[in-house]
Amino acid sequence: MNAKHIVIIGGVAGGASAGARARRHSESARITVIERGPDVSFANCGLPYHIGGEISDRSELALQTPESLRKLLNLEVLTLTEAIAIDPQAKTVTLRSLTDPSESSIGYDQLILSPGASPIRPPLPGIDHPRILTLRNLQDMDRIIEAAASAKRVAVVGAGFIGLEMAEQLLHIEKAVSLIELQPQVLPQLDPEMTRPLERSLRDKGIELVLGDGIDGFESKGDAVTAKLSSGRTIDADLVILSIGVRPDSQLAKEAGLTLGPRGHISVDSYQRTSAPDIYAVGDACESPDPILGGHVAIALGGPANRQGRTAADHIFLGDKALPYPGSIGTSIVRVFDLAAGVTGASEKRLKMTGTTYETVTVNGPSHASYFPGAETITLKLLWSPDDGRVLGAEAVGIDGVDKRLDVLATAIRGRMTIDDLVHLEFAYAPPFGSAKDVINVAGFAATNMRDGMLVPVQTLDDAAGEQIIDVRPPAVVEKLPVPGATNIPLPTVRDRLDEIDKSRPVFTVCQMGKTSYFAARILANHGFDARSILGGAWHQAPREGD
Amino acid sequence: MNAKHIVIIGGVAGGASAGARARRHSESARITVIERGPDVSFANCGLPYHIGGEISDRSELALQTPESLRKLLNLEVLTLTEAIAIDPQAKTVTLRSLTDPSESSIGYDQLILSPGASPIRPPLPGIDHPRILTLRNLQDMDRIIEAAASAKRVAVVGAGFIGLEMAEQLLHIEKAVSLIELQPQVLPQLDPEMTRPLERSLRDKGIELVLGDGIDGFESKGDAVTAKLSSGRTIDADLVILSIGVRPDSQLAKEAGLTLGPRGHISVDSYQRTSAPDIYAVGDACESPDPILGGHVAIALGGPANRQGRTAADHIFLGDKALPYPGSIGTSIVRVFDLAAGVTGASEKRLKMTGTTYETVTVNGPSHASYFPGAETITLKLLWSPDDGRVLGAEAVGIDGVDKRLDVLATAIRGRMTIDDLVHLEFAYAPPFGSAKDVINVAGFAATNMRDGMLVPVQTLDDAAGEQIIDVRPPAVVEKLPVPGATNIPLPTVRDRLDEIDKSRPVFTVCQMGKTSYFAARILANHGFDARSILGGAWHQAPREGD
């Protein structure tokens, strides 16, 4: 057998992983990496942190160089080279050098597409102003650093993961930052009530947060730019960062006749094979199966990209003995100053959108034993299927331990585990690390209590507006954050004051975090009241500034 | 139906949880808690940290008081009261007050035993010296604090979880600490190679660590004690803390005719029912099913105790509709200065002891993206079944993120997940929190590579003694920590220097952490060599001081 030639288009994340894994399978295969940019395998997720100076050494971001890929993996690396056409019949790729106008052709036995996704730049008036930048690669990063050096005011448009990281890092280097988001919340991947702590924190730190407002266009104003918002408001900035999402770089695939999904992502099977023989696709440009809801999702994340690259390489050498890629559940996280927030699996929004039946509960618990110094509250939202109790998704926000809970729940989702399983997950417990009843156990308790009728929940205070509300917190706590219209009957006195509650009407109990309100509701229910507990507690009901 | 009377013997952890859960089920049940000590529901796991001052306020350790249990849960609480006999036929318990000599009898409909376990105090010569103390409750803690105040030298006997916490905390309050352990390693729950970093750290911080030496007895020496070791060595101390393990407080159960396990633990079914009708047992005094290896285990941990208490209460009210307790997998962790170390599921020791077929791999990886400040190495050992790939156990040690990896793997074990599942676990990745390929994914890669013949592993350098060893690290790294007898052929030069390696003999590759040695072994194997990679790397081979 002649040595096979594997051509990889795109030398970052998925492409680099595919090349490395292919080489582990074979020393004799010829492996060529085509990369449009000057760099391969750089740390895209680290770019905002070099802009903000938290990663001080730029060279840390270059995980590999074309030279190191040659030396370590014997890859042929063609940088500054664009693949401009694929001929799936002839099994060739037409290449154009970006440094001279020459074109050439290269044959392949297997082709792996890892073109990635580009930041969206909508065709708005004034969008081409040189001070309106996006962030995808090291060169973009360098441009932003240069522009930021002389900028006082920076507007970040789009408050998703990258927008939040950019806003944080730009404040870190003492810019006046405006963060503008079309949705009425930051981090639209999460459900709105979960992002309130982030919004409070952003405002507390001095970021101007503009929610629920779009950009109609930009106007040049000397060296600066004026962003014109849909509301009529204007924001002046010396630099604008656009982070409103990405679009798959699938044009080449489309022109080659490969099947694309509804939003332009390359369709692949569970071995990352496209619709054309011997052509694979990995990373941000392709779709993945959705193991939770079925169908397909497009998830632009580094972890999946790397493991998809590995899967494609395995399939080239092992055929259907390779381990299939099981799909992506979209586990992700962002740090915003002291806070972390993230999601795994489906959000409530997405479950509603897809018409999926679900139940949800939100609980609060300490990051580690509450009696040990440094414990911080984690708010955890759990979503599950009432049919079989299977966990469908989770979101968490807090100062410490958010990543741990998301990772555990991502594992539970992957293992198709249920709310009953969460009850008895057995975690590493010592006071500095956890609690005897971790917040994930507590979420399992609450979810199974709901199913079993022990907990009749109401999600938020708003849902109890106008009803008979009993606030069971201590009076001193009530005074600081009162619940309008509620009667204060502290938990220890509930049994003695039953006659103050109207048994002919439903009664809604509320406390700070949704825990003792459950205790009170149990007392009332066991005394024959129609009692419901307000899950979110009063804690979460602090008004959204600017609402 | 008359209101039932539930009697609970033992008001800490499992007993307190059972009482609380029972009250959620019913307002009319009479619930009586019998507690020998003066306190209920205190934070036993926090005791060492108050001794060391890290938890400064003693009252933080009292999670509930008899009074709060009365007020919040309407429990009848009898403290300083000992249950001295159970009559399962008559369904009565004989009680003796510890404050006056009176005895009384109390009837029950259901009885829940939560007696806990006592620190072992072996019948050694001199063991009754007043300066030899154990730690179980708040009173023990107070005694230790008082004795430590005037002590300069403290000997801690037993280097399990509590012994390590005590040693750390006593150093924290500037005592000269000797830590003595019969086994040739600290934390005998883990495999010996995983505890080396702890041992180095303990010695680096100035703790005198005596391993592989037992105590023959004690001698009084004025106010102080001399511990006489089996080796003939003596250690003088002003205070001795015994932390060599616990023994179930199952005497009462035994006298009542309940079935006990081989080591004296109360036998229970999956609803925590003992062999006698309407008597349940929970917590450290009882056995649990072992969901990994089958049979039963006795695991003295707070998390299981609490959840067993909940299970017993649920069964009393729901019968067999209650969620059964699925057994304990022994997830546990300890902090030792900057380090954390822990285990979930079966250790290699235990698998050997039980004659279970297993495979194992140890990998090293960063706690979060290596290019982001603060990344620390985690060493992760994975054990799985070669029959079906199911994860059997894991151990981890490192400075940051050890608890997270243990919790994820505990979840994977509970979900009966396999090494293939670990490959594609999708974690919350942003540079401050994780890596695109987390160390757990990497362990999955290594394990599946072993199964698939891509990685032919050798556990440690010792296993390659006298063989052809190729050290693939950069020369500058080799110089700092050389591997005796190895030839240095740095990874990037391996392909050019194949003719320096004897193809007629197996070749063992080694690097710092076991990663690039795998890369080199793949190159060699693909060139026809019989190549094996030394998993532990040179990093772990630093000699154990005192070996």
The string of pLDDT tens digits covering residues B127-157 is: 999 999 999 999 999 999 999 999 999 999 9
What is the C-alpha to C-alpha distance for residues B274 and B291, in angstroms, rounded to an integer?
Answer: 19
Domain count across chain B: 4
Higher pLDDT, A210 or B515: A210
Smallest Cα distance from B536 to chain A, Å: 20
- Mark whether A185 and A216 lie in a shared domain: yes
Taking CA–CA distances from B518, the nearest residue in chain A reads A24
- Mark whether A139 and A230 lie in a shared domain: yes
Report the CATH number at residue B504.
3.40.250.10
ipTM of this complex: 0.96
Contact A154, A240 (CB under 8 A): yes
- Which residue out of A424, A441, A449 would a mutagenesis test of the B interface target, given it has the greatest number of B Cβ atoms within 10 Å? A424
Kindly state the percentage of chain B with pLDDT values over 90: 94
Give the H/E segment covering residue A353.
Answer: helix A348-353
Q: Does B423 touch chain A (CB under 8 A)?
A: yes
Give the per-residue pLDDT at A537: 85
Taking CA–CA distances from B13, the nearest residue in chain A reads A436
Give the per-residue pLDDT at A2: 65
A133 bridge partner residues: A241
Q: Does A498 touch chain B (CB under 8 A)?
A: no
DSSP state of A273: B
pLDDT of residue A157 exceeding 80, the answer is yes
Q: Which of A61, A335, A412 sits opposite B415 (nearest CB)?
A: A412
Smallest Cα distance from A151 to chain B, Å: 26
CA dist A278 → A5, A6, A83, A95, A273 (Å): 11, 10, 17, 19, 7
Radius of gyration of chain B (CA): 26
Mean pLDDT of A416-430: 98
Q: Of B185, B209, B244, which marks where a domain is finished?
A: B244
Residues of B in Cβ contact (< 8 Å) with A436? 13, 45, 302-303, 305-306
∠ CA(A505), CA(A509), CA(A515), 5° rounding? 150
Residues of A in Cβ contact (< 8 Å) with B429? 45, 301-303, 331-333
Strands B110-113, B5-9: pairing kind: parallel
Report the CATH number at residue B425.
3.50.50.60
Give the per-residue pLDDT at B2: 65
What is the C-alpha to C-alpha distance for residues B326 and B414, in angstroms, rounded to an integer?
Answer: 9
Give the H/E segment covering residue B240.
Answer: strand B239-242
A410 within some domain: yes
Distance of CA A371 to the CA centre of its chain: 32
Q: Which of A335, A373, A436 sits opposite B430 (nearest CB)?
A: A335
Q: Of A188, A217, A244, which marks where a domain is finished?
A: A244
CA dist A405 → A129, A315, B428 (Å): 43, 33, 9
Give the per-residue pLDDT at A436: 93
What is the C-alpha to C-alpha distance for residues A498 and B28, in angstroms, rounded to an integer?
Answer: 15
pLDDT of residue A544 exceeding 60, the answer is no
∠ CA(B459), CA(B464), CA(B468), 5° rounding? 135
Sort B483 into a burial class: Cβ within 10 Å, 0-12 / 13-18 / 19+: buried
Smallest Cα distance from A103 to chain B, Å: 32
Contact B415 A420 (CB under 8 A): no
- Mark whether B174 and B235 lie in a shared domain: yes
Residue whose structure tokens are 């070749």: B507
B294 within some domain: yes
Full-prediction pTM beyond 0.95? yes
The edge-to-edge listing of strands for the beta sheet with B339-345 is B332-336, B339-345, B391-398, B377-384, B359-366
Residue whose structure tokens are 């440690």: B460
Nearest to B178 by CA among B140, B222, B137, B211: B211
pLDDT of residue A542 exceeding 60, the answer is no
Give the per-residue pLDDT at B539: 73
Average pLDDT taken over every residue of chain A: 95
Q: Of B204, B220, B244, which marks where a domain is finished?
A: B244
**B226: CB partners within 8 A, 6+ apart:** B218, B219, B220, B234, B235, B236, B237
- Mark whether A252 and A240 lie in a shared domain: no
B232 within some domain: yes
Other CB atoms within 10 Å distance of the CB of residue A262: 9
What is the C-alpha to C-alpha distance for residues A217 and A473, in angstroms, rounded to an integer?
Answer: 49
Q: Which amino acid is at A201?
A: S
- Mark whether A481 and A443 lie in a shared domain: no
CB < 8 Å from B in window 235-294 of A: none
pLDDT tens readout for residues A38-80? 999 899 999 999 999 999 999 999 889 999 999 999 999 999 9
Contact A437 B307 (CB under 8 A): yes
Long-range contacts of B43-47 (CB under 8 A, 24+ apart): B43/A369, B43/A371, B43/A431, B44/B12, B44/B13, B44/B136, B44/B137, B44/B302, B45/A369, B45/A429, B45/A430, B45/A431, B45/A436, B45/B302, B46/A369, B46/A371, B46/A372, B46/A431, B47/B135, B47/B137, B47/B138, B47/B140, B47/B141
In chain B, what is the straight-line distance between the N-terminal and C-terminal CA atoms, in Å?
69
Q: Which amino acid is at A471?
A: D
Assigned token pair, A14:
């998925």
Give the H/E segment covering residue B220.
Answer: strand B215-221
Give the per-residue pLDDT at B222: 86
Mean pLDDT of A208-223: 96
Structural domain of residue A169, as residue ranges? 132-244
B126 within some domain: no
- Mark whether A287 and A368 lie in a shared domain: no
Q: Does A437 touch chain B (CB under 8 A)?
A: yes
pLDDT of residue A152 exceeding 80, the answer is yes
Residues of A in Cβ contact (< 8 Å) with B46? 369, 371-372, 431
Kindly state the percentage of chain A with pLDDT values over 90: 94
- Mark whether B113 and B136 lie in a shared domain: no
Contact B26 A433 (CB under 8 A): no
Nearest to B412 by CA among B373, B375, B436, B438: B438
Taking CA–CA distances from A68, the nearest residue in chain B reads B492
- Mark whether B436 and B463 lie in a shared domain: no
DSSP state of A260: B
- Mark whether A446 and A350 lie in a shared domain: yes
What is the C-alpha to C-alpha distance for residues B535 and A67, in angstroms, rounded to an integer?
Answer: 27
Nearest to A335 by CA among A438, A187, A221, A204: A187
A327 within some domain: no
Residues of B in Cβ contact (< 8 Å) with A60? 371
Contact B415 A430 (CB under 8 A): no
- Which residue out of A271, A317, A321, A371 would a mutagenesis test of the B interface target, given it has the greatest number of B Cβ atoms within 10 Å? A371
SS3 call for B131:
coil
**What b/e readout covers B38-60, taking b as 16+ CB neighbours within 10 angstroms?**
ebbbbbbbbbbbbbbebbeeeeb
What is the C-alpha to C-alpha distance for residues A443 and A427, in angstroms, rounded to an integer?
Answer: 14
Q: Which amino acid is at B113?
A: L
- Mark whether B353 and B395 lie in a shared domain: yes
Mean pLDDT of A301-329: 96
Other CB atoms within 10 Å distance of the CB of residue B154: 25
Q: Which of A27, A74, A331 sits opposite B426 (nearest CB)?
A: A331
- Which residue out of B75, B429, B529 would a mutagenesis test of the A interface target, given it has the greatest number of A Cβ atoms within 10 Å? B429
What is the C-alpha to C-alpha distance for residues A311 and A282, in angstroms, rounded to an integer?
Answer: 9
pLDDT of residue A216 exceeding 90, the answer is yes
Residues of A in Cβ contact (< 8 Å) with B302? 429, 436
Contact A488, A477 (CB under 8 A): no
Q: Does A315 touch chain B (CB under 8 A)?
A: no
Give the per-residue pLDDT at A541: 57
Other CB atoms within 10 Å distance of the CB of residue B492: 18
Q: Does B375 touch chain A (CB under 8 A)?
A: no
Assigned token pair, A135:
């962030």
A123 within some domain: no
Nearest to B26 by CA among B15, B18, B38, B16: B18
Give the per-residue pLDDT at B448: 97
A247 bridge partner residues: A118
Estimate the crossing angle of helix B14-25 against helix A516-526, to 10 degrees.
50
Assigned token pair, A424:
């008895």
Contact B519 A441 (CB under 8 A): no
Taking CA–CA distances from B303, the nearest residue in chain A reads A436
- Mark whether B90 and B166 lie in a shared domain: no
**What b/e readout covers B342-373, taking b as 16+ CB neighbours within 10 angstroms?**
bbbbbbbebbeeeebebbbbbbbbbbbbebbe
CA dist B534 → A30, A72, A509, B343, B501 (Å): 28, 19, 60, 23, 17
What is the C-alpha to C-alpha distance for residues B4 and A163, in angstroms, rounded to an integer?
Answer: 59
Residue-wise pLDDT tens for chain B (547 aa)? 568 999 999 999 999 999 999 999 999 999 999 999 999 989 999 999 999 999 999 999 988 999 999 999 999 999 999 999 999 999 999 999 999 888 999 999 999 999 999 999 999 999 999 999 999 999 999 999 999 999 999 999 999 999 999 999 999 999 999 999 999 999 999 999 999 999 999 999 999 999 999 999 999 988 899 999 999 999 999 999 999 999 999 999 999 999 999 999 999 999 999 999 999 999 999 999 999 999 999 999 999 999 999 999 999 999 999 999 999 999 999 999 999 999 999 999 999 999 999 999 999 999 999 999 999 999 999 999 999 999 999 999 999 999 999 999 999 999 999 999 999 999 999 999 999 999 999 999 999 999 999 999 998 888 899 999 999 999 999 999 999 999 999 999 999 999 999 999 999 999 998 899 999 999 999 999 999 999 878 876 554 443 3
- Mark whether B97 and B183 lie in a shared domain: no
Smallest Cα distance from A43 to chain B, Å: 8
B330 within some domain: no
pLDDT band at A360 (very low <50, low <70, confident <90, very high): very high
Distance of CA B274 to the CA centre of its chain: 26
Q: Which amino acid is at A78?
A: L
Q: Which of A161, A420, A436 sits opposite B306 (nearest CB)?
A: A436
A329 within some domain: no
